[in-house]
Amino acid sequence: MPRPDEILYPRRPERTADRRKESMQGKLLDEFFDHPTLLAVSRLISHGYFESIDHPISTGKEGGVFRATKGEGFVAVKVYRIGNATFRRFPPHALEELRREVSIRNLRTLIPAWTRREHTILARLREAGVRVPAPLGYSRNVLVMEYIGDPGGAAPRLKDAVVDDLDALYEDLVAEIRRMWEPGGLVHGDLSPYNILHWGGRIVTIDVAQAVSREHPQARELLRRDVGHLAEFLTRRGRKVKAEEFFARVAPPSAEA
C-alpha cells in the first residue's frame, strides 16, 4: 500500500523531470546571471528587446546562449561570463586589436568591450552580405541577436547537422568565407564546424568577436587555419577537399591586396 506522502505527492516521472529542470535552471542562474548581469537583462527587457529568457541553447566556458521570447517569436541572448577563465580563452590577436580600439583597465571593462565588439562585427558582416545572426542590441556582457531556428529548436551546429549535399555545402562555405574576406575585409580566426550553424540548407556563421581585419599581420595565417579545419571536416564527411584549393578559392590573388 502506498505511503500517505506518495498519495499526496505522487512520484510521477513529470515531478522528477520538473525537479531536474528546476535544479538545472538554478545552476544556470548562479553560473551566468550575477547581479550586474541581471540588471543588464532587466535593462534590455525594459527597452523591448525581449520579454523573458526561456532556456539555454548552448553553454560553455566563455558564456552561454539562451532563447528568449519576443512577442510571437524569439531572439537569441548571449551572456558572457565575467571572470579570468573567460579572459584566458580570448585569442591574443583579437585582444591586441581590442586594446587598440578601446581603453581596457580590467575584466569589468574588457568583457563589455568584447560584447560590443561582437555586435559591431556582426553588423559589419551583415552589411557585407555575410550570413550571420542580425545584431539587435547589447548591454554590458549581454548581446541580443537574431534567433536561428524555429519553435521546435535552434539550428544545429554544422558538426551535428545532417547534410545531404556536401558539394552544395562546400560551395556555400567558399562563398561565405570569401564574402567575409572581400568585401567584409575580415577573417573569422576561429572558424570550425563548432561555430557554424546549418539551417535551411545554408550555413550561418556565429561567434565572430575574435575576427580580425584582413590587414592584420596574421590574417592570411588565420584564414589558412580556418579553411584547413573545414577541409578536414568535409573530407571526414566524405567530400574530399584540399586545404590549398579551398584557400585559393576564398582568397584569390585579385582579392589579396
Clarify whether 190 is annotated catalytic: yes
DSSP bridge partners of 203 = 198
User: Which entry of 30, 165, 190, 226 is annotated as an active-site residue?
Assistant: 190
pTM: 0.85
Backbone φ, ψ for residue 199 (5° rounding): -145, 130
Tell me the CATH number of domain 155-255, given options 1.10.10.10, 2.30.110.10, 1.10.510.10, 1.10.490.10: 1.10.510.10
Q: Which residue has the cell 551572456?
A: 79
User: Which entry of 5, 30, 172, 207 is annotated as an active-site residue?
Assistant: 207
E strands within the chain? 52-59, 63-70, 73-80, 135-139, 142-146, 149-150, 153-154, 186-187, 196-199, 202-205, 212-213
Which CATH number is associated with domain 25-150?
A: 3.30.200.20
Bond before 133 cis per omega within 30 degrees: no
Instruction: Report the C-alpha gap between 220 and 226 in whole angstroms.
Output: 10
**Quick one: angle between helices 219-237 and 243-250, nearest 10?**
130
pLDDT in tens, the chain (257 residues): 444 344 343 455 555 555 555 555 556 666 788 889 999 999 999 999 999 999 999 988 788 999 999 999 999 999 998 866 666 677 777 777 777 666 666 667 888 989 999 999 999 999 999 999 999 999 999 999 999 999 999 999 999 999 999 999 999 999 999 999 999 999 999 999 999 999 999 999 999 999 999 999 999 999 999 999 999 999 999 999 999 999 999 998 754 44
Q: Where in the chain is the domain with CATH 1.10.510.10?
A: 155-255
Q: Where in the chain is the domain with CATH 3.30.200.20?
A: 25-150
DSSP string, 230-244: HHHHHHHHT----HH
Cell of 23: 535544479
Clarify whether 165 is annotated catalytic: no
